[in-house]
Amino acid sequence: MIFENQIKEVICSIVAALYSCNLETDSIQVQKTKKDFKGDFTVVIFPFVRYSKKSPDATAEEIGQNMVNNLSFIKEYNVIKGFLNIMLNDKSWIDYFNDIRLKQPLSDLEIPDQSPVIVEFSSPNTNKPLHLGHVRNNLLGNSVCNILEANKYKVVRVNLVNDRGIHICKSMLAWIKSGKGETPESSGMKGDKLVGKYYVEFDRLYKQEINDLVSKGLSEEQAEKQAPALIEAQQMLQQWEEGDPYIRNIWTKMNDWVYQGFDETYKRLGIRFDKTYYESNTYLLGKKILDEGLNKKVFYKHDDGSVRVSLEDEGLDEKILLRSNGTSVYITQDLGTASLRANEFQPQKMIYIVGNEQNYHFDVLKLILDRKLGYTWGKNIYHLSYGMVELPSGKMKSREGTVVDADDLIESMILIAQENTERLGKTSHFSPTQLKHLFTMTGIGALKYFILKVDPKKNMLFNPEESIDMNGNTAPFIQYTHARICSLLRKAEAENININTSVRLSEIPEQEKELLRVLYEYPSTVIQAGKELNPALIANYTYELVKTYNHFYQETPIVREENKELRVFRLQISLYTATIIKEAMKLLGIDVPEQM
């Protein structure tokens, strides 16, 4: 933003002198010049016409000429239909590059308020292993945290494990009925997969009971409510809440199996948390808040004994906060957990990364905390709502066992990466250990990038083969470019070319200038990604940078350049490009290789 800020300040002075108008720099629009036009930056002139009392083009000409006279780094300008396109001189680009290449890429960003930003993501249920939908959640949450940290925010990564409820009891009941004491050790299965197996088994048993009841004359709706398996699961939940030792023992044992499985998957995806909350520890906190709301008369008891809140004044409907039998619903524990975190961290924002099927839930949560209960921190809740991941075969269903298991997906991505790399026939110089590391890096990198390059708000179709294409907008394409630059730099080092000097070229060729323009955008891209909580901005910026560099690489001699000053400059800009690629991909949780 260095050049833009200088341009804005000078325009403020020019407009004040020419038109006797005092403007704030924030009101001036300076953009990157579109590729169809000549220029580095474009100033939107239309807002100044009201002060100049002249046409947009005449106003632009007047301001442009004054800018050339007042800013030494401006070479020339042109006017296109009310837009002022500004070109910087080559010296300004060289001075800029000599300054930034010796710094950490984001070292000049301003330090914001250091009150923590809490980011909740993952939030799995302990009745099944992580699947493709969880993968998007985890990758999105991890990257958002990385981006906020790059913007110098203090971030607290939290996970809320949904370790209690009717869905957990369903897995437990199926294990009790048909498990015969099966354990991860005896079965050879990961603990989360073993528990997930019994969740599917419950659904099979439940459907069988429904069919039996329907055959005896009940309607399907009646059968669904009266099926013995469901009634037993509901009774088990009540027993759990009452602290029944037998039920609690099975619950602890099966949840521990799941946690061990989750930890393995998190490790493979590079996911970590600063703190993990458990619904079993927080749902009672929500009940205390319900008592507070009842005392304030913002909640009320329904005739059936349930606790409810009316949100009709806010354009929503009535919401149950506690069932008639006294058991909690999701919003009960979310109220308690939010209050706990607010008191524990005094955060400036609480971000929940949860799929868009929960939009209504979070609208309700925020309304209750902010408007109904009057908590000042309630307005700081933000729901980062993301779209669903679908497959060519359609939607996934956990109950029916038709999900794409996260571990299986990771393994398949690594296998595809291995097959593609071996097909290229360039692996002879790698040891078996190095090859395994490379296949893992490219396979998991492809998975992460393919998911994160899509705007979080959009639904997406996941295609493993497309994600690992070496010639598209993929991680392997970006990773290969980083490896190519590293190879180039090793070659320069072998030829004893010293690139640790300041370059003072009189002019820069257009290919290098275009690359500098893209490199210049990195800090502002990271800032914007932080504001929007959108890793896709980083992913697609990196792809644009790599495309620009590859065009430069293919069209320009580098190590073989005869002009020593220009050769060093090209190597320096290559090194800095590799640095930005590595830093940007790190924000996405992706590693890049030095050889490939």
Instruction: Please write the tens of the pLDDT for every residue from 136-195.
Output: 999 999 999 999 999 999 999 999 999 988 999 999 999 999 999 999 999 999 999 999
pLDDT value of residue 330: 84
Domains 2-88 and 121-390 share a fold: no
Please say whether the beta carbons of 70 and 8 come within 8 A: no
User: How far is C-alpha 511 from the geometric centre of its chain's CA atoms?
Assistant: 32
DSSP state, 302? -
pLDDT tens sequence across 231-269: 999 999 999 989 999 999 999 999 999 999 999 999 999
pLDDT of residue 284 exceeding 80, the answer is yes
Helix 432-452 with 475-494: angle, nearest 10 deg:
130
Segment 67-78 shows an average pLDDT of: 90
Q: Give the mean pLDDT of 279-291.
A: 87
> Which pLDDT value is given to residue 144?
98
Buried b (16+ CB within 10 A) or exposed e, 203-227: bebbbebbeebeeeebeeeebbeeb
pLDDT at 407 over 90: yes
Please state, rounded to an integer, the average pLDDT across all residues of the chain. 93
Element containing residue 30 per DSSP (H, E) = strand 30-32
**Contact partners, residue 389, CB within 8 Å, separation at least 6:** 132, 133, 135, 136, 451, 459, 460, 461, 462
For the chain, the domains span 2-88, 121-390, 406-587
Mean pLDDT of 330-356: 94
What does the DSSP 8-state code read for residue 371?
I
> Is the model's pLDDT at 394 over the cut of 70?
no
The pLDDT score that the predictor gives to residue 422 is 87
Contact at 8 Å (CB) between 586 and 522? no
Per-residue pLDDT tens over the stretch 493-532: 999 999 998 888 889 999 999 999 999 999 999 999 999 9
pTM across the whole model = 0.93
| High-pLDDT (> 70) share of the chain, % | 98
Reply yes or no on whether the pLDDT at 555 is more than 90.
yes
Residue 36 banded pLDDT, cuts 50, 70, 90: confident
CATH class given for the domain over 121-390: alpha beta
Q: Greater confidence, 589 or 108? A: 589
| pLDDT at site 399 | 44
The helix or strand, by DSSP H or E, that contains position 158, with its residue range, turns out to be strand 155-161
Residue 447 has pLDDT above 50, yes or no: yes
Architecture of domain 406-587: Orthogonal Bundle (1.10)
The phi and psi torsions of 72 (rounded to 5 degrees) equal -70, -25
307-310 and 318-322 beta bridge pairing: antiparallel
CB 347 within 8 A of CB 114: no
Give the pLDDT of residue 347.
Answer: 98
Degrees to nearest 5, angle at CA 296 with 291 and 301: 55
pLDDT at 426 over 80: no
What per-residue confidence (pLDDT) applies to 400?
Answer: 47
Please report which confidence band the pLDDT of residue 427 belongs to, taking 50, 70 and 90 as the band edges.
confident
C-alpha pair distances (Å), 65 with each of 52, 77, 433? 15, 8, 62
Structure tokens at 491: 């070659």
Residues in the chain: 596
Class assignment of domain 2-88? alpha beta
* Spatial CA neighbour of 142 closest among 132, 129, 161, 157: 157
Q: Give dist(CA 75, CA 224) in Å, integer.
A: 76
Q: Which residue type, as a one-letter code, is found at position 352? A: Y
- Report pLDDT for 397: 46
pLDDT for 384: 98
Alpha carbon 292 to chain centroid, angstroms: 36
Pairing of strands 389-390, 460-461: parallel
User: Taking the CB of residue 435, how many other CB atoms lie within 10 A of it?
Assistant: 14
Contact between 267 and 118 under an 8 Å Cβ cutoff? The reply is: no
CB 150 within 8 A of CB 106: yes
Please give the C-alpha separations between residue 572 and each of 128, 400, 496, 563, in angstroms, as whole numbers: 50, 56, 14, 14
Mean pLDDT value across residues 291-309: 95
Q: What is the 3-state secondary structure (H, E, C) of 110-176?
A: CCCCCCCEEEECCCCECCCCCEHHHHHHHHHHHHHHHHHHHCCCCEEEEEEEECCCHHHHHHHHHHH
Q: Which two tokens stand for residue 553?
A: 């690489």
Neighbours of 47 (CB within 10 A): 14
pLDDT grade for 398, boundaries at 50, 70 and 90: very low
Burial class (CB in 10 A: 0-12, 13-18, 19+), 316: middle
